[in-house]
Chain A
Amino acid sequence: MYGLEGYRIIDFGTAWAGPMSTQLLADMGAEVIKVETQGRLDGLRMGRPIVGDDIAGGDEGKWPNLQPAFHALNRNKLSITVDIKTEEGLALIRDLIKISDVVSDNFSPGVMDRAGLGYDDLVKIKPDIICVSLSGVGQYGPLRDATLYANTIMALSGLSSLIGYKDEPLLGMSAVAYGDANASIHAAFIIQAALYHRKMTGEGQRIDLAEAQMGSSLMGEALMDYFMNGRVAKPQGNRHPYMAPHNNYPCEGEDKWVSIAVKTDEEWQGFCEAIGNPAWCRDRKFADAKSRWENQEELDRRISEWTIGQENNDVMELLQAAGVAAVSCLNTEDQYFDPHFNERQSHIEIEHPLVGVESLYGIPWRLSETPGDIHRPAPSIGEHNDYVFGELLGKAKTEIERLVKAKVIY
């Protein structure tokens, strides 16, 4: 049994934020039907193909079924192709929505309304429908029409203003598209909360999720400081308000680091013992939490001298045995080969008909009775037209053929 078995989601999402939110629900067994069209491909269907040497035409969408990020974000979903700009195409989608629970999109505000698929239209044909829209700054407000992507969403949210080393020019960038991923995980929660409300009361509704605002909401600490004290937070690098040592330290190998964070005197004692109680550990400058914090630059130098030349996993094991929070900095490759990540199935293999077995990131929440799984590879474009239009909507084979010919199913 799947946790979300029996729920059907019509997903107009493209790129990342929208598709990841529905991916989380598809992993839990919701039937997510991705609405696509050959006329305008999801940006993630574009690019160089995963396999083969023929890379020409990727940017024009020649290889829509061979894109790695697309495979990850759209596993467990079905794909249909419909030109919703045609009258018959729109009618098909509206018929499908009549037998669905959720409609999801991350278009610019107004696109769904103009297409005749806004909440006000849909509630007339499906009174308890739940419509969820993800956008940069929301469906209304003075900045509504700004074109935004993950990085600029982070910038507007304020989070980027805190990314950098202390007392240095701002970096303001991360290779993690946090603005999108943060929106997705919250969207997956709020969609289910709306489903819960509908289950209890029979009432559907519209959800307007603003991604930049979602980012600002995770700066509560800094915003409260501003409202309380008028203080404007600045980048702190790895510095903590009161913990020291608290940094990433260099280890043996290219770009290998270990994070070490000490909070209590007990942890500090454990740390000193584990590294063999060198004389500097007994220096008055490091005697208590306050002095360690005040002298953290020197402390960082001392610790770096000790970590450099060691394997980060060795440092982790040694210090963890002493009760110290030391953990290697892992990149994707490290995680892929790490025993803990492997035992917990942080990546899951699935057979894809075009590329064979491939690894996808795992399921970030674990339920003991209804754990969910990856039961289906990402769909090829339009792969489920026959199932959706034939089985779900009851269209005859000849009718589907006619619609394909007329480029309605396209």
Chain B
Amino acid sequence: MLKKALSGLKIVEYGHFISAPYCAKLMADLGAEVIKIENPAEGGDEARRHGPFPGDVPHPEKSGLFLWLNANKKGIALDITSEAGRGVFHKLLKDADVFVANYPPLRSEELGIDYETLSKVNPQLIVTSISPFGQTGPYRDYKAYELNCQAAGGVSVASGDPDREPIALPMFQTYYQAGAAAAGATMTALLVRDKIGRGQHIDISEVEVPANNLVGQHLTTFIYRGLTGIRKGHQGGYFNYPTCCLPCKDGYICLVAPQVAQWKRFIELMGTPEWSKEPRYRDRREMAESYPDEVDALLIDWFKNYTKEEIFAMCMERHIPFAPVRTVDEVAHDRQLEARRFFVELDHPEAGKLKYPTTGYELSKTPVQLERAAPRLGEHNQEILGGRLGYTAEDIEKLTKK
């Protein structure tokens, strides 16, 4: 059996939708035991109702988002707000290393999953709390969904046309960023726990993580040089032409060329057209700032004769750093990802055999492993509550019914 980097670690997750489940997923995929608690009265994690569903038919055991985010975990159905349920919950925590959840501060107190409460149950426990605005500050109790987190995080103003409404990055990127930050912070707390002799509270904000990590580098530039990082439609944020996305015969090509030599090689690839010899098309900063659309049109004239894969092949051969914009189906069949075994097939009793994306890193001694499909609601009640905590079948029936 292959070794796992986090084997032996015990994590209890009371996560819903994306950020906390993603945090726990990162650790489960490295061998940590993750016990996911879902509230049966609410029908479990809301990701079960999000989809996508096979044939677009909603089914709580067939949501693609849920299946993907919760593979490798064990699941129990438990109402942690009932007295008996809380007793079970605390028993689980006594033996755990980490508790991770994504409810805002007030709701966390109501649920009894705030740090003050849980640190009394187990002072060694690391409690990772993810919320939109964090545990402190004037917006602490403001409500925010993904769209709002991207807005406050400074991500939205970076995408879209300059004179139209900003648009968020696709799907749920701030939740993933917050989940990854939470996993990183949790590892720091685990590495230092024996030195300080106790657990600690980790406060992750779904707004702050992107504000610091994705757009924070613009702050120092803003202080010294004014505002940068603002959207320019299909153009990017760099000073020199090209940084843009342009159409070709069968899709789009992404162009960047930070080094002037790269741009020169591309001009040569096009056969050094007459226009490229004019002074107007030699100053890359001027082209980016004053008439990028005009230059775009000249390039599109050439691009439209070739497919994106033809262009990519020609560019790679000449060390021109342009790349095709891959669509989802192309990602699913990408030969690079295939060579790196990015997709793994898992069988689920309800959803059947499906391919799942894994992750972006490989570890030579402790590889990421996708071994078990996501738990059905309450699938591991017997194993965890009965086998491990010693409850009788009758107790379990009472504890886990809706």
Contacts and interface: CB of A to CB of B under 8 A. Distances in A.
22 contacts: A141-B340, A155-B252, A155-B254, A173-B234, A203-B365, A205-B364, A205-B365, A213-B336, A216-B357, A217-B357, A217-B358, A224-B356, A225-B52, A249-B165, A259-B151, A325-B147, A331-B157, A332-B227, A340-B138, A364-B216, A366-B185, A368-B201
Contacts of A232: 327-329
Interface string A229-243: 101110111101101
Interface in B36-57: 50-56
Interface residues of B, number: 155
Contacts of B228: 175, 332
Contacts of A364: 181, 204, 208-209, 211-213, 216
Contact of A190 (B323, B329, B363): B363
A184 B230 contact: no
A284 to B, nearest CB: 25
Given A178-B173, A366-B202, A332 B218 contact: yes
A343 B136 contact: yes
Interface string B317-335: 0011111111111111011
Interface stretch (B74-82, B189-197, B382-390): B189-197
A329 B151 contact: yes
B254 A171 contact: no
Interface string B139-150: 100111111111
Nearest to B327: A161
Interface in B211-256: 211-225, 227-237, 243-245, 247, 252-254, 256
A367 B328 contact: no
B357 A368 contact: no
Interface in B52-82: 52-56, 64-65, 67-69
Contact of B166 (A51, A221, A248): A248
A344 B254 CA distance: 37
A224 B68 contact: yes
A143 interface: yes
Most chain-A CB neighbours within 10 Å: which of B150, B222, B254?
B254
B191 A192 contact: yes
Interface in B244-298: 244-245, 247, 252-254, 256, 258, 262
Given A4-B191, A200-B8, A220-B69, A159 B170 contact: yes
Interface residues of A, number: 158
A31 B292 CA distance: 44
B223 A163 contact: no
B174 to A, nearest CB: 11
Given A142-B336, A259-B148, A368 B202 contact: yes
Interface stretch (A69-77, A79-87, A384-392, A396-404): A69-77
A172 B254 contact: yes
A360 B188 CA distance: 22
A72 B219 contact: yes
B252 A172 contact: yes
Contact of B217 (A16, A152, A199, A339): A16
A145 interface: yes
Interface of B, helix, strand, loop or mixed by DSSP: mixed
A20 B213 contact: yes
Contact of B361 (A153, A214, A238, A367): A214
A365 B336 contact: no
B187 interface: yes
Interface string B146-169: 111111111111111110111111
B111 interface: no
B168 A238 contact: yes
Most chain-B CB neighbours within 10 Å: which of A142, A196, A237, A327?
A327
Given A223-B328, A237-B167, A172 B184 contact: no
B89 interface: no
B328 A161 contact: yes
B133 A340 contact: yes
B362 interface: yes
B137 A343 contact: yes
Contacts of A248: 147, 151, 156, 165-167
Contacts of B211: 330, 335, 341, 346, 361, 364
Nearest to B244: A173
Given A188-B184, A217-B358, A332-B228, 18 more contacts: A2-B192, A137-B336, A145-B316, A151-B236, A152-B323, A172-B234, A172-B252, A176-B169, A214-B360, A219-B328, A219-B357, A224-B65, A236-B170, A247-B165, A325-B144, A328-B152, A360-B220, A367-B185
Given A192-B191, A196-B5, A344 B337 contact: no
Nearest to A342: B137
A210 B325 contact: no
Given A3-B191, A346-B211, A336 B360 contact: no
A24 interface: yes
Nearest to B54: A228
Contacts of A153: 323
Contacts of B237: 175
A286 to B, nearest CB: 19
Contacts of B321: 146-149, 152
5 pairs of A and B residues whose beta carbons are closest in the complex = A361-B216, A214-B360, A224-B64, A172-B245, A365-B185
A50 B213 CA distance: 22
Contact of B213 (A173, A181, A335): A181
Contacts of A148: 321, 323
Given A257-B166, A259-B147, A325-B144, A143 B336 contact: yes
Nearest to B221: A68
A117 interface: no
Given A50-B224, A211-B360, A196 B322 contact: no
A339 B159 CA distance: 25
Given A72-B216, A173-B235, A229-B56, A158 B208 contact: no
A303 to B, nearest CB: 11
Nearest to B258: A149
Most chain-A CB neighbours within 10 Å: which of B147, B215, B229?
B147
Contacts of A203: 3, 365
A175 B30 contact: no
A59 to B, nearest CB: 10
Given A162-B170, A162-B171, A205 B366 contact: yes
Contact of B158 (A175, A208, A247): A175
B124 to A, nearest CB: 12
A289 to B, nearest CB: 13
Contacts of A172: 234, 245, 252, 254, 325
A101 to B, nearest CB: 11
A360 to B, nearest CB: 6
Contacts of B56: 229
Contacts of A236: 170
A167 interface: no
B156 A259 contact: yes
Nearest to A361: B216
B256 A197 contact: no
A246 B153 CA distance: 17
Most chain-B CB neighbours within 10 Å: which of A157, A343, A361?
A361
B374 to A, nearest CB: 11
A158 B316 contact: no
A389 B134 CA distance: 42
A312 B332 CA distance: 41
